[in-house]
């Protein structure tokens, strides 16, 4: 293939993540894809697409080599070479935590990951690379937890991003999280701290351990409590499993389905909102996304919503669609269309 971009690995020392509650590294790798013409055309500036990895992933994960499918950079190279997508700079941040993820939001239990993304990474990229340093030149996308992060950041920061693509994004928490509470309760066995110690110590893990880690991580993001020993509150009683209504309500306040009402005008400022989910999604995110789309429609917010015949996993081929739409939307935004 003649048209190929290249990867740049930067090392960022974050002031905002220094001293975070989990003791996670404040110095992190930031992977950036520069498009094929970047070195040949030094006067040209490029739109930027921020790609957020899903739960248990980080920017580097997106570069993993797969035997049966291209990774995100190989995919983008092919799309650019085929004329399906315009040239863009791709930014792949690392917002991983000891709990498996940050949801790309601030929390007293994990750290200031939203601020890290918005106030440190975006300015760094604009200062060091030839970007179109304006909302009309920036998009944000992701899948699963990354889709959640992309959607929430876009609705909170239309002054930073003008385009968002959210694949199988965590939403309508009653369906995508609540069914895993029983699995988490049984795996944690009344002691989250001991569970985490075992999880990171033992390579062999139980069938529900990953679900338990996910629920612990979401608790740290959605229901932090600095007055507790853990730094967060789980949404169920550790002895009986009974749902704790006030904690569960705190979770629901972070649900994109319920955030919409608080961000109607912000969402209207976006040039494109793209949502998709597989109709056999294992976490019922297809239903959650339908509900999300219904809420957007209720408030008169324009969006694109698509479904496809597949589940939650191994659906990176859907990026072909979102990259094409993102490219078109960024071109139109930059030209004032």
**Structural tokens at position 176:** 């995508």
Q: Which residues contact 144 (CB under 8 A, 6 or more apart)?
A: 54, 55, 167, 168, 169, 170, 285, 312
Q: Consecutive 10-residue runs of the chain (337 residues): their mean pLDDT?
A: 85 98 98 97 98 98 93 97 97 98 98 98 98 98 98 98 98 98 98 98 96 98 98 98 98 98 98 98 98 98 98 97 98 76
Query: What is the pTM (predicted TM-score) of this model?
Result: 0.97
Q: Which residues contact 179 (CB under 8 A, 6 or more apart)?
A: 283, 284
Per-residue pLDDT at 334: 75
99 close to 217: Cβ distance less than 8 angstroms: yes
Per-residue pLDDT at 335: 73
| pLDDT tens per residue, range 116-137 | 999 999 999 999 999 999 999 9
Per-residue pLDDT at 4: 93
Per-residue pLDDT at 210: 97
Could you give the domains of the chain? 6-172+255-334 (3.40.50.1820), 175-252 (no CATH)
| pLDDT tens per residue, range 179-232 | 999 999 999 999 999 999 999 999 999 999 999 999 999 999 999 999 999 999
Of 220, 214, 288, the residue nearest 250 (C-alpha): 220
Mean pLDDT over each residue of the chain, to the nearest integer: 97
Exposure of 198 by Cβ count < 10 A (0-12 exposed, 13-18 middle, 19+ buried)? middle
Q: Which residues contact 332 (CB under 8 A, 6 or more apart)?
A: 271
**Structural tokens at position 267:** 């969402």
Strand ranges across the sheet with 6-13: 6-13, 27-34, 89-92, 48-52, 138-143, 163-167, 272-278, 304-308
């Amino acid at each position: 293939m003649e048209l190929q971009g290249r990867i740049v690995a930067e090392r960022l020392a974050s002031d905002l993540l220094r001293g975070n509650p989990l003791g996670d590294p404040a110095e992190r790798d930031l992977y950036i894809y520069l498009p094929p013409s970047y070195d040949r055309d030094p006067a040209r500036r490029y739109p930027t697409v921020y790609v957020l990895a899903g739960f248990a992933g980080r920017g580097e994960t997106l570069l993993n080599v797969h035997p049966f499918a291209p990774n995100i950079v190989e995919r983008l190279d092919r799309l650019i070479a085929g004329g399906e997508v315009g040239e863009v700079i791709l930014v792949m941040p690392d917002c991983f935590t000891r709990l498996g993820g940050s949801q790309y939001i601030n929390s007293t239990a994990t750290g200031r990951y939203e601020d890290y993304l918005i106030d440190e990474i975006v300015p760094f990229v604009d200062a060091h690379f030839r970007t179109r340093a304006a909302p009309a030149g920036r998009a944000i996308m992701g899948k699963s937890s990354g889709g959640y992060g992309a959607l929430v950041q876009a609705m909170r920061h239309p002054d930073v991003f003008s385009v968002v693509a959210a694949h199988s994004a965590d939403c309508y928490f009653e369906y995508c999280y609540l069914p895993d509470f029983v699995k988490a309760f049984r795996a944690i066995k009344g002691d989250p701290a001991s569970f985490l110690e075992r999880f990171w110590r033992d390579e062999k893990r139980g069938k529900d351990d990953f679900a338990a880690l996910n629920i612990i991580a979401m608790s740290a993001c959605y229901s932090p409590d600095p007055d507790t020993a853990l730094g967060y509150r789980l949404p169920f009683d550790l002895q009986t499993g009974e749902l704790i209504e006030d904690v569960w309500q705190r979770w629901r306040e972070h649900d994109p389905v319920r955030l919409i009402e608080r961000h109607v005008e912000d969402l209207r400022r976006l040039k494109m909102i793209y949502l998709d989910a597989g109709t056999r999604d294992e976490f019922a995110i297809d239903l959650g996304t339908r509900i999300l789309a219904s809420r957007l429609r209720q408030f008169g917010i324009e969006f694109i919503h698509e479904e496809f015949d597949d589940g939650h996993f191994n659906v990176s081929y859907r990026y072909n669609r979102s990259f094409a739409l993102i490219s078109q939307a960024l071109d139109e935004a930059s030209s004032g269309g």
